[in-house]
Structures are given as structure tokens and as C-alpha cells.
Amino acid sequence: MARIFITGSADGLGQLAAKSLIEHGHKVVLHARNAGRGRDAIKNTPEAESVLTGDLSKIEETKNLAREANKLGAFDAVIHNAGAYQASAKEVFAVNTLAPYILTCLIQKPKRLIYLSSGMHLQGRSKLDSFKTDSSRISYSDSKLHVLMLCMAVARKWPDVYANALDPGWVPTKMGGRSAPDDLQKGYETQVWLAASNDEKAKVSGRYFFHQKERHHNPEADDVLLQETFLNLCKEITGISFPHV
Ligand SMILES: NC(=O)c1ccc[n+]([C@@H]2O[C@H](COP(=O)([O-])OP(=O)(O)OC[C@H]3O[C@@H](n4cnc5c(N)ncnc54)[C@H](OP(=O)(O)O)[C@@H]3O)[C@@H](O)[C@H]2O)c1
């Protein structure tokens, strides 16, 4: 049995992954943006161990969320699932790029880390030259490339952790919209598998998956120099260094 923390689990793929993990006998700690959504999260998934709150568009709330998560003790896996799409560039950047960086740095290192990217990262650009001075140019696709860069950097720097990213497909959640064409169940199965399965194929690191199969990703994410620049910029913006051990 594993203990898993899932960001953005009041709704959508985060909630579905939480339910599936609990059904498989695992313990899950939920996360929601505020107390009201926290109540919704527990109402939707009452079997969860508990729910933590914090608005990931605010750096201080994200840091506090990490402190609250650490108070609950170590997790076997953390799924960085929360994401913003139809929001300002500033919010997309804070929620999709900075929050996974902050939480990865500050939450006690789990055995497995899973990052929700998107097929749209293929159209993204890292924009590291203006990333610190002008986040208004960061698109959703850019942010999903950033989270993939973070995942690949983590996989390289922490060989004792399985760190992987995935594209859930275009699925009918609040974000994906009702007419999204891909299979909703397949949209959460990969993160559940990566978080808790003993399948040797899930015990890998530095991979990008679509429906439990490795898929081509933007090679910029594997560029060590770009990764280091990315981590340094995140450090300058958040005041948090990436821990090397
Ligand atoms: N759906 C798709 O087609 C699709 C495709 C590719 C990738 N993805 C990725 O998959 C992940 C899950 O998406 P989804 O489809 O399940 O979307 P969703 O239904 O909109 O759920 C997103 C979750 O993130 C939470 N969240 C958003 N902004 C937040 C903030 N500032 N602070 C705290 N929590 C916040 C939401 O909270 P509230 O419920 O309170 O808003 C919600 O629980 C995202 O990272 C997304 O980018 C989705």
C-alpha cells in the first residue's frame, strides 16, 4: 500500500486518480485551492485520508502547502496534477510552472514523482530569455514544456526517485470541455500506474508517457544546459534552491 499526495484533486483527473488509487487500497491526501473546494474534495472522495488547501497561483500559499504536506509525514508518491488553462498568463505560469517546482523542492522527497504535462507542450517554447522579466508571454503550451523540463531535471539529479511525466490526452474534464475526444479513464490510468504499480515498466525515470506507453517529446526538455537555466530562474523567482540530495 502506498501513500500518495495529489495536487488539484477536488475535480477532474486529480479526483479520478484519487478515487482509483483508493479503490486499489492506497492512501490518498487530496489538495484543493481553498477551504470551500477542500470541502468539495472530501465530499467527492470521502475515503481520502485528508485534504490540504493552498492557492497555487500564490507563491507563499504554495510554500505553505509544502510545509503542511510535510507535517503529514513522507509520501511514497506525489502527483503534480493541478493545472490552469483558461486563465491569465501569469496564473498559468504560477500554477503550471512554478508550483510544481516549489512543491518538488520543498516536499520531503517521495519515491515517485509524476508530472502532468500535455501533448500541447510540443508547440511550446521555453522562453527562458524573458521568463523572469515578462511572464505575460508564457502560454499554456510553454508551461507544459516547463513542467517536462522540470521532470527531466529531477530524473537526472535524483537517481533514487522515479520521476516521469505524461500527456493524459484531450479528455472531458472542466479543462478539456464536454466534447473532448479521448478516453477519460485512460486519462488518469497512467498517473495511477506510475504512482503505485509494481510493474517494472512503471519503475523507470525521465520518461514521457501517453496511455502507459512512451511517447516522443520535445528534446529541449532533455537539454541539460536549458534545464539548469530553468532551475536557476525558478530559484531567482521563488527564492528556493533545488535540493541536490
Ligand atoms: N483535460 C485535458 O484534456 C488535459 C489535456 C492535457 C493535459 N491536461 C492536464 O491534466 C491536469 C489535470 O487537468 P484536468 O483536465 O483534470 O483539469 P480540471 O478539471 O480543470 O482540474 C484541474 C485541477 O487543478 C486545480 N487548480 C487549478 N488552479 C489551481 C490553483 N490556482 N490552486 C490550486 N488548485 C488549482 C483545479 O481546482 P478547481 O477545481 O478548484 O478549479 C482542479 O482541481 C492539468 O495539469 C492539465 O494541464 C489535461
pLDDT tops 90 at residue 77: yes
Q: What's phi and psi for 18, nearest 5 deg?
A: -60, -50
222-243, pLDDT tens digit by residue? Answer: 999 999 999 999 999 999 999 9
Question: How far does residue 173's CA lie from ligand 1's centre (Å)?
Answer: 8
Pairing of strands 27-32, 3-6: parallel
Quick one: average pLDDT of 205-211? 98
Pairing of strands 112-116, 77-80: parallel
Residue with the nearest Cα to atom 20 of ligand 1? 175
* Catalytic residue flag (residue 43): no
Question: How far does residue 38's CA lie from ligand 1's centre (Å)?
Answer: 15
DSSP 51: E
The Cα-based distances of 15 to 58, 141, 153, 196 in angstroms read 22, 23, 27, 16
Q: In angstroms, rounded to a whole number, what is the distance separating the alpha carbons of residues 226 and 220?
A: 7
Q: How many CB atoms are closer than 10 A to CB 47?
A: 11
- Residue in 120, 147, 173 to alter for ligand 1 test, most ligand atoms within 8 A of Cβ: 173
124-164, pLDDT tens digit by residue? Answer: 999 999 888 999 999 999 999 999 999 999 999 999 999 99
Measured from the Cα of 57, ligand 1's closest atom is 31
Q: Is the pTM of this model over 0.95?
A: yes
Ligand 1 pocket check for 38: Cβ under 6 Å: no
Measured from the Cα of 80, ligand 1's closest atom is 45
- Residue in 19, 20, 33, 184 to alter for ligand 1 test, most ligand atoms within 8 A of Cβ: 33
* Catalytic residue flag (residue 140): yes
153-164, pLDDT tens digit by residue? Answer: 999 999 999 999
According to the model, what pLDDT value does residue 130 have?
87
